[in-house]
Amino acid sequence: MSNTFRLYIKNAKQVVLVCNSGERYLTKDGMQKLSVIENGSLVVGKDGLVKAVGQADTIASQFEGASFENVIDASGMCVIPGLIDGHTHPVWAGDRVHEFALKLAGATYMEVHQAGEGIHFTVEHTRQASEDELLSSLKQRLRRMLRAGTTLVECKSGYGLELDTEMKMLAVLEKAKQSLPIGISSTYCGAHAVPKGKTVAEATEDILKVQLPGLREKMVQGELKVDNIDVFCEKGVFDLDSTRAILQAGKDMGLQINFHGDELHPMNSAQLGAELGALAISHLEEVTNEGIAAMAKSKTSAVLLPTTAYILRLPQPRARDMLEAGVIVALGSDFNPNAYCCSMPMVMHLACVNMRMSMNEALAAATINAAYSLGKSHSHGSLEVNKQGDLLLINSSRWEHLIYQFGGHQELIKYVIIKGNIV
Ligand code: NIG
Ligand code: FE
């Protein structure tokens, strides 16, 4: 092994590993007792992977004589894994600040959608926008997420609803991967809404016969690298049968299933996801007890989105019931023109106050379990040897300040580090 390393963070008051035995996810008990080292240090190698993490004295003698490109004295500060955002819609043009006013005045999400606004408004603007325009706004949003501590983020298409615009959105995500350090897991979400003038059957046929084959071709040619497939399974959007057909077709192409379910109405989405071997189902505000049981049995994770329930004044996702049942609970910001939030610390705060999660549970949900929901928990989500060196240096003597304080996190997050590089 070479004797030069990329980064040495020494003498941190706390190093929060989250877990340290190679776990791919945590359920309630594991989430409640996170692995924390008091007075710890950590070393990242030139390959961007964690080489050692442990007691400060032990690491100091282990690495005596080694050289480091960067040394950070973290006295009085804390280290935690980089935050992972399990659900966002960050590629679009056409914000909906006017609609926020309508919703504050009492209009529901579906009333706005069915009046041809909501997602349809953003679709019209996104179809007209150039790749450059979309890339520029996407980069601003991703930089904002980075500053709030997100080091890996799931990003969806879904404001095209036809082949060309969906592919344009995915191509923009591909370009962002080349130009920013943040990790991106891409999701094809052509079934985000039924396009104006089409029936569900027509929209489903277009996805199965036109969009997915078009996507497959671009993936085979190496133009696009897409990880997940998503459908908005909801009353008045895609019903259970069309959802099943689209998700299965995506799975047959090698995509991971990660979809919107049981948000506004109980649709049996949770049972469907469990049956299809989905990696993740998001929202679940209206999940039934049977749905929770099916998810717990199948190891399909729940990506809960506290911002949606907050903004739309929906019932809170049943985090406690899911945790008690043994469901793998993750968190996401749901950043989109309806829920304009780029901050996972804010999401964790809402999860604690409104969904009654503990701070330890919220951090596990926003790290190792969010990594699991993206099929990346072998390499991301905890500070363990051989995992990617993605971490945050928190400028306080207890890591929980990141959740306890709400707003103004730029002051608290001293450094965001990806693959051992300060970004
Ligand atoms: O996850 N529920 C569907 N999709 C998004 C909202 C997208 C939008 O309104 O533009 C969500 O909240
Ligand atoms: Fe969403």
Give ranges for CATH 2.30.40.10 in the chain.
4-81+382-422
**Phi and psi dihedrals of 149, rounded to 5?**
100, 5
Please tell me the distance between residue 89's alpha carbon and the centre of ligand 1 in angstroms: 8
Atom of ligand 1 nearest to the CA of 337: 10
> Which ligand approaches the C-alpha of residue 311 most closely?
1
Per-residue pLDDT, 410:
82
Q: Whose CA is nearest to atom 1 of ligand 1?
A: 334
Please tell me the distance between residue 338's alpha carbon and the centre of ligand 1 in angstroms: 7
Please tell me the distance between residue 260's alpha carbon and the centre of ligand 2 in angstroms: 6
- Ligand 1: residues whose CB is within 6 Å? 89, 118-119, 122, 232, 260, 263, 308, 334, 336-339
In this prediction, residue 423 has a pLDDT band, given cuts at 50, 70 and 90, of very high
Atom of ligand 1 nearest to the CA of 334: 1
Q: How many residues does the chain have?
A: 423
Secondary structure (DSSP) of 321-390: HHHHHT--EEE---BSSSS----HHHHHHHHHHHH---HHHHHHHTTHHHHHHTT-TTTSSS--TTSB--
Domain formed by 4-81+382-422, architecture: Roll (2.30)
In this prediction, residue 115 has a pLDDT band, given cuts at 50, 70 and 90, of confident
> Which ligand approaches the C-alpha of residue 234 most closely?
1
pLDDT at 209 over 70: yes
Provide mean pLDDT across the span 218-225. Answer: 98
pLDDT at 146 over 70: yes
Residue 182 CA to residue 344 CA, distance in Å, equals 14
Please tell me the distance between residue 391's alpha carbon and the centre of ligand 1 in angstroms: 29
Atom of ligand 1 nearest to the CA of 122: 10
Cα angle, residue 234 at apex, residues 118 and 91 outer, rounded to 5°: 45
Atom of ligand 1 nearest to the CA of 264: 2
Provide mean pLDDT across the span 109-132. Answer: 94
pLDDT at 31 over 80: yes
Please tell me the distance between residue 262's alpha carbon and the centre of ligand 1 in angstroms: 13
Per-residue pLDDT, 295:
98
> Which ligand approaches the C-alpha of residue 339 most closely?
1
Q: Whose CA is nearest to atom 11 of ligand 1?
A: 334
Query: What topology does CATH give the domain 83-373?
Result: TIM Barrel (3.20.20)
Per-residue pLDDT, 2:
65
Q: What is the ipTM of this complex?
A: 0.97
Give ranges for CATH 3.20.20.140 in the chain.
83-373
pLDDT at 1 over 80: no
pLDDT in tens, 297-324: 999 999 999 999 999 999 999 999 999 9
Please tell me the distance between residue 223's alpha carbon and the centre of ligand 2 in angstroms: 25
Best CA proximity match to 43, nearest among 367, 376, 386, 371 = 386
Per-residue pLDDT, 409:
85
Please tell me the distance between residue 252's alpha carbon and the centre of ligand 2 in angstroms: 23
Please tell me the distance between residue 155's alpha carbon and the centre of ligand 2 in angstroms: 10
Per-residue pLDDT, 389:
98
Atom of ligand 1 nearest to the CA of 109: 9
Please tell me the distance between residue 91's alpha carbon and the centre of ligand 2 in angstroms: 12
**Phi and psi dihedrals of 147, rounded to 5?**
-65, -25
Atom of ligand 1 nearest to the CA of 283: 1
Residues 6 or more apart whose CB falls under 8 angstroms from that of 315 comprise 285, 286, 309
State the helix-helix crossing angle for 119-128 and 163-179, rounded to 10 degrees.
70
Please tell me the distance between residue 158's alpha carbon and the centre of ligand 2 in angstroms: 9
Atom of ligand 1 nearest to the CA of 282: 1
Please tell me the distance between residue 372's alpha carbon and the centre of ligand 1 in angstroms: 22
Q: What is the mean pLDDT of the chain?
A: 97
**Pocket-testing residue among 87, 92, 117, 336, ligand 1, by greatest number of atoms within 8 A of Cβ:** 336
Element (H, E) at 4: strand 4-18
Q: Whose CA is nearest to atom 3 of ligand 1?
A: 232
**Pocket-testing residue among 159, 334, 341, ligand 1, by greatest number of atoms within 8 A of Cβ:** 334
Best CA proximity match to 335, nearest among 182, 127, 202, 215 = 182
Per-residue pLDDT, 184:
98
Residue 183 CA to residue 336 CA, distance in Å, equals 18
Per-residue pLDDT, 399:
98
